[in-house]
Amino acid sequence: MPNFELEDEYQDLVDTVRAFADEVIAPVSARHDEEHSFPYEIVSQMGEMGLFGLPFPEEYGGMGGDYFALALALEEIARVDQSVAITLEAGVSLGAMPVYRFGTDEQKEKWLPALAAGEKLAGFGLTESEAGSDAGGTRTKAELVDGEWVINGTKEFITNSGTDITQHVTVTAVTGTSEREDGSVKKEISTIVVPAGTPGFTAEPAYSKVGWNASDTHPLTLKDVRVPEGNLLGVRGRGYANFLSILDEGRVAIAALATGAAQGCVEESVRYAKERHQFGRNIGSYQAIQFKIARMQARAHTARLAYYKAASKMLAGKPFKSEAAIAKMVAGEAAMDNARDATQVFGGYGFMNEFRVSRHYRDSKILEVGEGTTEVQLMLIARELGL
């Protein structure tokens, strides 16, 4: 029989991060959300704890752990603040992980230590106005001129791209074309590291978002940006394929984050149901509220099992694309459904931004969209079934 109990090392991590989330992150979450301010002090402390280095080897400044450890940390943080959780998730899975997976030894030594220490952040520039799930829509171009890549284009919705500690953004760009047998044009898409501060590379004003207000998200403009030829990350022409593998891993992390959000809604609802009195009794004594919260707990539990299964297959080196898609879809929907039900439990107070469930309500919708929509997950699952 499979054992779903966490090993002591993992449990110690969970306990440590949970205490940090409750005692350090939660007290300042509402302020950062209201001010739309980036929580630099929290990021610094997470760096000192080694959270940004969890899945990386010690030789690059990491903690020598694995991706499941990162997922567990994300779940605990997302209970109280999704903005902080997505900063960690994107910083590791989208920022540092491509360098670790596909970088040369020289690139790893140059860029990974500061990212693993949480001293710097990185982002991944894939999405454009007409490209994201459809790589063929990529319009950003990079031309090799005199030993330098000259890049022109725009990117949308890029996390961790405009902070004071952003180290670089890895961008996808068309580096060539070829003709298919049917006469159509096939784009060669590669990934290139663009350091923050490079002339012509501009993080435009931050978006006004529905949620995740304390995370950093910008559109990017690249105008005649020049970087060394050696900033090509991975094999030329394999940029999008490599990123798809990064996304599979990232979906496990996003599923963990969404599970944390779903669980946070349960915990807040249980607390409130015991405190709030109507008609002479606390509302938790009414079966209607009990059943609503019970269903919320069932969703969080199911989401956790889903991402645990995906993570176990990933760490075992087995194919996990379908399991990652299932986990991402199930957990994202659980977070959104639980946020809606928690808001209902809180009544009018659930509509007030000072309460955590209202932030979960605003924050959770993106979990059904970002890093692959629910529809994309369904498509991936269907493909794995041979349809």
* Chunked mean pLDDT (size 10), the chain, 387 residues: 79 97 97 97 98 96 95 98 98 97 97 97 93 80 97 97 98 88 82 98 97 98 98 94 89 98 98 93 95 98 98 95 97 98 96 94 96 94 95
What are φ and ψ of residue 33, in 5° steps? -65, -45
Contacts of 212 (CB under 8 A, 6+ apart): 82, 83, 86, 363, 366
User: Cα 145 to the chain's mean position, in Å?
Assistant: 34
Give catalytic residue positions: 371
Would you kindly state where each structural domain of the chain is located, as residue ranges?
Answer: 8-121, 122-238, 241-384
Cα–Cα distance, 153 to 5 (Å, whole number): 48
The pLDDT value recorded for residue 133 is 72
- Residue 192 zone, left/alpha/beta (φ > 0; ψ -120 to 50; rest): beta
Cα–Cα distance, 352 to 157 (Å, whole number): 27
Residue 334 and residue 259 in contact, taking contact as beta carbons nearer than 8 Å: yes
Counting every residue written for the chain, the total comes to 387
Which of 61, 60, 54, 64 lies closest to 13 in space, CA to CA?
54
What are φ and ψ of residue 208, in 5° steps? -95, 105
- Which stretch of DSSP H or E encloses residue 188? strand 185-195
The pLDDT value recorded for residue 180 is 77
Tell me the DSSP string of 127-168.
-BTTBSS-GGG---EEEEETTEEEEEEEEEEEETSSSTTEEE
The pLDDT value recorded for residue 2 is 60
Q: At how many degrees (to 10) do helices 82-89 and 26-35 cross?
A: 90
Query: Model pTM?
Result: 0.95
Inter-CA distances, 50 with 25, 81, 116, 250, 292, Å: 16, 19, 7, 19, 38
Please say whether the structural domain 241-384 has been given the CATH code 3.30.70.100.
no
Q: At how many degrees (to 10) do helices 239-275 and 287-315 cross?
A: 150
What are φ and ψ of residue 62, in 5° steps? -85, -175
The pLDDT value recorded for residue 144 is 96
Q: Do domains 8-121 and 122-238 have the same CATH topology?
A: no
The pLDDT value recorded for residue 357 is 96
Cα–Cα distance, 375 to 225 (Å, whole number): 35
Token pair belonging to 362: 């605003």
The pLDDT value recorded for residue 175 is 96
Residue 304 and residue 259 in contact, taking contact as beta carbons nearer than 8 Å: yes
CATH pick for 8-121 out of 3.30.70.100, 1.10.3720.10, 1.10.540.10, 3.40.640.10: 1.10.540.10
- Which stretch of DSSP H or E encloses residue 241? helix 239-275
The pLDDT value recorded for residue 270 is 98
The pLDDT value recorded for residue 131 is 76
Tell me the DSSP string of 3-58.
--SPPHHHHHHHHHHHHHIIIIIHHHHHHHHHHT---HHHHHHHHHHTGGGTTS-G
The pLDDT value recorded for residue 368 is 96
Please say whether the structural domain 122-238 has been given the CATH code 2.40.110.10.
yes
141-145 vs 148-159, strand pairing mode: antiparallel
User: Cα 246 to the chain's mean position, in Å?
Assistant: 11
Bridge partners of 144, per DSSP, are: 149
The pLDDT value recorded for residue 132 is 72
Per-residue DSSP letter, 91? I
Cα–Cα distance, 52 to 195 (Å, whole number): 19
Residue 172 and residue 125 in contact, taking contact as beta carbons nearer than 8 Å: yes
